[in-house]
Structure 1
């Protein structure tokens, strides 16, 4: 069950557009996947061990508070909230991209369609966690169908009379810079490997089960992604994949036929909607939790009649809408790439802080050192501009935090 929790939260919609982002990298992307899987396993092990050592901490922000204090803990919680609403923009773009195959007008009005989808899912979540949960259940298993279809078609493609034109290995070899640039995209698809650590108090023998489930789930998902994405970017022309709004459908159409390809696009769209729905719930609950902990104003925790943190939900979706409007001049692929890189970069600060907390607290130190190096390396691969922007966004919440602390302090206390 824990393995299912890890894999279910990791397999979202990003992987369905990811081959278009990775196509220009070719074999360098394969190397990027390998390093990313290793780095994710190291970070997953760190989070699992921290959960075992400090089960009462309440997750990543609790680990950081224990190691570095309350202010860094707020910054990490704030960063995670930023990563969620930026990720939701990416998820909405992915869903609209797949739906545009059936409704071409969506592709011509990408920004408007993306904003409409964000608010439709917001309306679903407005009615509470139960309504969001029912919608989530209906989309859970559908997301595996496109991945399974590609895996089945790989050996079939090599048995056809017409040879598969594999992308040749670069004569100059792999480039560390190019591999690093691809790693930020591959990590985007693996975010969520920390899921099992939040259920420590509900797991039988957590000291054994959580590390095992986290490692198995992360490795299995990574291997699945490595196989599927590598097949698409190496078995199809790079230019065609890079320009495709639905790389999975392109692969199925090339090695099967158009009708099943349309079905795959429909499955991918439903998967994107399901993932967007789940993270929309998180984008409301996360700031509400920070508010209940006294890290944000109580306004963020105010709930409607359905028990939904309505203020936090609406504000998060409004910020996501602003992100879409500000990036309206970008193409679908450009908007997806930018928001995916930004979301991953912000999340990397959380992973970096947790690795640093493990080192400071003396937990899983050799692995934590590897995780720290990997997080720094991936931030470098994202580029100075995006990494700096993610740091600025994270620091932007500090005035609100300080105001919250000052307004909640007892009278006469500095």
Structure 2
């Protein structure tokens, strides 16, 4: 992009010369499994136990969070039709609010993706240790690297293999989870659910407090609903399928979360559930008896984690690639191999994730938790700006608006915007403070990118505008 090109016409949106727009693409089914696989990682296998701590009010919180997540998915669907470009939230913010807002979204999401992958990898190693008991820093680091670099190799091999890998791993975890949720409804004992509001030392003893705390835990259980929007150019018929895949995937995830949580809570006594490290296995033990279920669900968690890492590795690379093509990230991130994969972005992102995982095992778990805390806040900004972009275009009529759907679309955008604000609140003041610090660290990168494009501002740069009175020349 040259200094004089329009900031509202990113190359990533046009697709001219972009490798991402060529070759195999994700169909509706594989795009939907990308959403499901990225949202349902390893956390689902502990979710019912985490929710039980707050009481059955957490089921209401799950319903509320699901509505907010669905609103976000619908917004991404509408925006994907408006701007069917790779980068998703980056492209939407750039088109609506200018390139600095676009850069901040790309920077924010990139930090979220590679730091969040470290969290998935560490949880994944915990399940692998059931079968490979390398319970020392070196052994766990080796396992984490295996879990990170297998998806990296799959991603380097191209979109077709990414889609196949995602489809297989999603089916292998999704079908058994739905089965347990449905069958578990037949064995529910109402006496197992425990109190409506959990213990006062956990919940504060009030409905509002318990609901908010449970919601804060659940808020990030839907991280990944934006997955298809981020890889927009790699989707068949993106104007239609980004929205359909986002909504279908979110609905499928909601089904798994609701069925799984209710079934497990209803099959495991409350006091036993809150202390369980394998709630699904415990529920199946109570339904069918036997002790093999813990190993079975450990295998499912391993499959689920590696599938999530495959999908998120794709996102780690796609967002900076889109920004690099527009001159807002270092140009190396736009490099693709002969299969059209953003090879440099994949390798750099996986190296950063590997470093964080190793840091966790060899240096300090506190440092690792701090990085993940930052990621919780940085994951929210792309949601907020995307909802704001949709609301901006609806209110200003800056893009085509269907009058008959205006009230519905505005309502959905407002719900998504408020949901994003709740996400910020739920992440906590420490995460917000640290997240803003890491966002500000991106500003020098933006300056570097602007200087590399020969854009020096309104002074004696390429703009040619003479200084106004009172300005230094």
Shorter-chain TM-score: what band?
Answer: 0.7 to 0.9
Partner of 2:222: 190
Q: Aligned partners of 1:397 and 1:34: how far apart in 2? A: 36
CA displacement at 1:294 relative to structure 2 = 0.9
Alignment CA distance shift 1:22-1:86 (3 Å): farther
| Residue in structure 2 matched with residue 232 of structure 1 by the alignment | 264
For 2:195, the equivalent position in structure 1 comes to 168
Matched-pair contact (CA < 8 Å) for 1:285–1:309: yes
Q: Secondary structure at the match of 1:258?
A: coil
The worse-fitting range, judged by mean Cα deviation, of 196-205 and 82-91 is 196-205
How has the CA–CA distance of structure 1 residues 4 and 133 changed in structure 2, closer, same or farther, with 3 Å as cutoff? closer
Which of 248, 264, 270 is matched with 2:297 structurally? 264
> Against the structure 1 CA distance between its residues 396 and 179, is the aligned structure 2 distance closer, same or farther, given a 3 Å change threshold?
farther
Separation of aligned partners in 2, 1:199 and 1:119: 24
Match of 2:357 in 1: 324
Contact 1:98 1:246 in 2 (8 A): no
1:181 equivalenced with 2:230 (yes/no): no
| 1:216 positional shift | 4.7
SS of the residue corresponding to residue 105 of structure 1 reads coil
* Residue equivalent to 1:274: 307
Deviation at 1:151, TM superposition (A): 1.4
- Which of 446, 449, 452 matches 1:407? 452
Q: Does 1:289 pair with 2:316? A: no
Structure exhibiting the larger radius of gyration computed from Cα positions: 2
Aligned to 1:9: 35
C-alpha contact 1:90 1:335 (8 A) present in aligned 2: no
RMSD after superposition: 3.6
Q: Which residue is 1:97 aligned to?
A: 126
Question: Contact 2:65 / 2:218 at 8 angstroms: preserved in 1?
Answer: yes
Cα deviations by residue, 1:90-121 (Å, 9 ceiling, x for unpaired): 22123222222222335886455324422343
In 2, the alpha carbon distance for the partners of 1:264 and 1:228 equals 13
Once residues 223 and 451 of structure 2 are traced to their aligned partners in structure 1, the CA distance between those partners, rounded to angstroms, is 34
What residue ranges of structure 1 are gaps of 5+ in the alignment?
none
2: CA distance between counterparts of 1:263 and 1:201?
34
Q: Quote the offset at 1:86 in angstroms.
A: 2.0
8 Å contact kept, 1:200–1:210: no
Q: 1:113 to 1:234 in 2, by over 3 A?
A: farther
Change (3 A) 1:210 1:81: closer
Alignment partner, residue 362 of structure 1: 394
Q: Deviations over 1:253-299 (max 9, x none)?
A: 33322223322321221121122122223322332222112111112
Structure with greater contact order relative to length (CA < 8 Å, sep ≥ 6): 1
| Residues 234 and 179 of structure 1, relative CA distance in 2, 3 Å threshold | farther
C-alpha distance after superposition, 1:348-402 (max 9, x if no partner): 1111111122222226333222221121122111211112222322332221121
Alignment of 1:48-59 (within 5 A): 48-55=77-84, 59=88
Pairing 1:336-351 to 2, within 5 Å after superposition: 342-351=374-383
Say whether residues 1:143 and 2:190 are aligned partners.
no
State whether structure 2 residue 417 is matched by structure 1 residue 372. Answer: yes
Relative to 1, partners in 2 of residues 1:337 and 1:7: Cα closer, same or farther, differing over 3 Å? farther
C-alpha separation in 1, matches of 2:61 and 2:179 = 24
Q: Tell me the matched-pair count.
A: 408
Q: 1:389 to 1:325 in 2, by over 3 A?
A: farther
Residue 462 of structure 2: SS of its match in structure 1?
coil
CA distance in 2, matches of 1:211, 1:119: 30
TM-score between both structures, scaled by the size of structure 2: 0.74
Q: What whole-Å deviation, never above 9, does each CA across 1:178-212 have from its counterpart, x for those lacking one?
A: 43333243233323334555379844983xx7656
Distance 1:218 1:185, change over 3 A: same
Structure-2 change in CA distance of 1:22 and 1:199 (3 Å) = farther
